[in-house]
Amino acid sequence: MKKRIFIIGGIVAVIGLLGAGAWFFLKRQPAAGDNVAYVTTVRSLTGEDVSGTQNRYAGVVEPQETVEVKLDTGRAIQKLMVEEGQTVKAGDQLFSYDISSGEEQLATARLELERLKTEAISYQEQINTYQREKEKAAQEEQLSYTIQIQSTQMDLKKNEYDQKSKTAEIEKLEKVSDSPIVTSEIDGIIRSINKDLMGSGDSYADPDPSSGSKSTFITILGTGNYRVKGKVNEQNRMNIIEGEPVIIRSRVDPSVTWKGVMGEIDTEHPSSGGEDGASGMVMMDSGGEDDQQTTSSSYPFYVNLDITDGLMLGQHVYIEMDYGQEERKKGLWLNEFYIADPEGDPYVWVSDGQDRLEKRPVTLGAFDQELGEYKIKKGLTEDDCIAFPSENLEEGMTVEISDQMQIPTEDQEGADDMGPESGEEIIDEDGIFPGMDTEELPMDTDEDAEAPNVEVMP
């Protein structure tokens, strides 16, 4: 009897549980034809990572000034006084010329100048003689004398030019003889010394004396005054506006920043990924089997810094336009895209905590016109989840939390599909995706590495 009672009781309990589960399941299921509303946490929209929605470009710290020291053609080096990597001050000795060889060259140049002066006198006498003879010559001989006079005048002009060049050479040789030591013009670091230009015994071996050009012997990188070099591709050139304020952000610690002003774009020296290894912008299409990669030419641009404390030569950083995103405002500020009817009875679409959508009135405060944000005085907290206003949203709709910020473009506003936007992802050659934690990234120590631009998309 007791056994039968236990069995009946168990059957009743199971039926009760099944009924409760069915009621719960049916209650939680969206009605037929229900759409899903995708929501995002307010905290993710207003937190410190919002700066990641800004366009960023990779950059590298380089000296504001670089000095290239060239050797005088034909001069021999007596002594080299610096080495690569050495720090120098303005006025420090770099190397000295051999005075003995300079004195010989000076004497030869002076003799050559005297010869040119004598030659000029001879040309002038010839011109005078031809002019006198022309006055006495017959009509048919006039043309011949005219041609001789013009030819000699051309020789005289060439002679005058040679005299000026030789005089400048003598003045330079005299200066070198008086001060054979070459000094640094700036405070800096000796980046390179082209010792291939030095022959045996430290004498200067001119690679091509007939070319008239001079090769760089010593390159000095200025210290103390740094700038940041970045690269921008053809599609984003118009985003670089000279004179606009920018923020330089550390790759290791994004909270560490420097302020600067955007400089000019060097459009005369474009580069492509195949030329210098810099990939510029790389766009990854998420189409699966039809994935494509396209590259475009890029151009260097420069940022002049207000303060360089804490920066190191060759350090890799991020560059982004300064829209005031570093100024932390008190209270909760929300992008105007999320607020419906802000001029009338403002409200937002919010998850009610039971995975259902509700329309909630909010009280607005000040409006930041530059950033397009309203201060929320009442009706919303950072823990709420909100959706973009859309005509297809209705109270009671099922909600689904999306980790992506749903910022619509002009073409997407009012669209029926408010699901996660599956646009193109843009990465740089280091493989940095938007939202990746830069603290886990290894530092690139290659000072000569080109810095491709990185655009972090919403």
Both 341 and 312 in one domain: the answer is no
Domain assignment of residue 251, given as a range:
55-64+224-322+439-455
pLDDT at 263: 85
Both 279 and 244 in one domain: the answer is yes
Both 341 and 317 in one domain: the answer is no
- Output the tens digit of pLDDT for each of the chain's 458 residues: 444 444 444 444 444 444 444 343 334 444 434 578 888 888 877 754 444 445 788 899 988 788 899 887 767 788 899 999 899 999 999 998 877 766 778 888 999 999 999 999 999 999 999 999 999 889 888 899 999 999 999 999 999 999 999 999 888 878 766 667 889 988 888 989 998 887 654 445 454 544 445 678 999 988 777 889 998 888 878 888 888 999 999 988 888 899 999 988 888 778 754 444 333 333 333 344 444 445 567 888 989 888 888 888 889 999 988 877 666 677 888 889 899 999 899 999 999 988 899 999 999 999 988 778 899 999 999 889 999 898 889 899 999 887 554 444 444 443 333 333 333 333 343 333 333 333 333 334 444 444 444 444 33
| Pairing state between β 398-401 and 36-41 | parallel
Q: Let me know if residue 44 belongs to a domain.
A: yes
**Single residue among 176, 206, 239 that ends a domain in this structure:** 176
Both 309 and 390 in one domain: the answer is no
Question: What does the alpha-carbon distance between residue 136 and residue 73 come to, in Å, rounded to a whole number?
Answer: 51
Both 315 and 447 in one domain: the answer is yes
Q: Let me know if residue 202 belongs to a domain.
A: no
Both 398 and 250 in one domain: the answer is no
pLDDT at 82: 93
DSSP state of 204: B
Q: Let me know if residue 90 belongs to a domain.
A: no
Q: Let me know if residue 4 belongs to a domain.
A: no
pLDDT at 295: 58
Q: Let me know if residue 27 belongs to a domain.
A: no
Both 450 and 308 in one domain: the answer is yes
Computed on alpha carbons and rounded to an integer, the radius of gyration of the chain in Å comes to 39
Rounded to whole angstroms, what are the CA distances from 151 to 22, 196, 265? 114, 45, 50
Question: What does the alpha-carbon distance between residue 11 and residue 42 come to, in Å, rounded to a whole number?
Answer: 48
DSSP string spanning 286-325? Answer: --GGG-------EEEEEEEES--TT--TT-EEEEEE-SST
Q: Which amino acid is at 101?
A: S
User: What is the H or E stretch that residue 349 is in?
Assistant: strand 347-351
pLDDT at 18: 41
Both 316 and 375 in one domain: the answer is no
DSSP string spanning 243-277? Answer: T-EEEEEESS-TT-EEEEEEEEE-TTS-B-HHHHS
List the one residue out of 341, 337, 350 whose CA is nearest residue 393: 350
Q: Let me know if residue 7 belongs to a domain.
A: no
CATH, residue 375:
2.40.420.20
CATH, residue 290:
2.40.30.170
Both 331 and 406 in one domain: the answer is yes
Q: Any idea which residue has 């998309």 for tokens?
A: 457
Residue environment code for 351-380, b if the CB has 16+ CB neighbours within 10 A, otherwise e: beeebbbbebebebeeeeeeeebbbbeebb
Q: Let me know if residue 358 belongs to a domain.
A: yes
Both 303 and 363 in one domain: the answer is no
Question: What does the alpha-carbon distance between residue 313 and residue 296 come to, in Å, rounded to a whole number?
Answer: 28
Q: Let me know if residue 366 belongs to a domain.
A: yes
Both 45 and 111 in one domain: the answer is no
What strand order describes the sheet that includes 363-368?
332-335, 373-378, 363-368
HSE-CB of 10 using CA atoms within 13 angstroms: 6
User: What's the number of domains the chain is made of?
Assistant: 3
pLDDT at 150: 94
pLDDT at 403: 57
pLDDT at 74: 66
Both 311 and 262 in one domain: the answer is yes
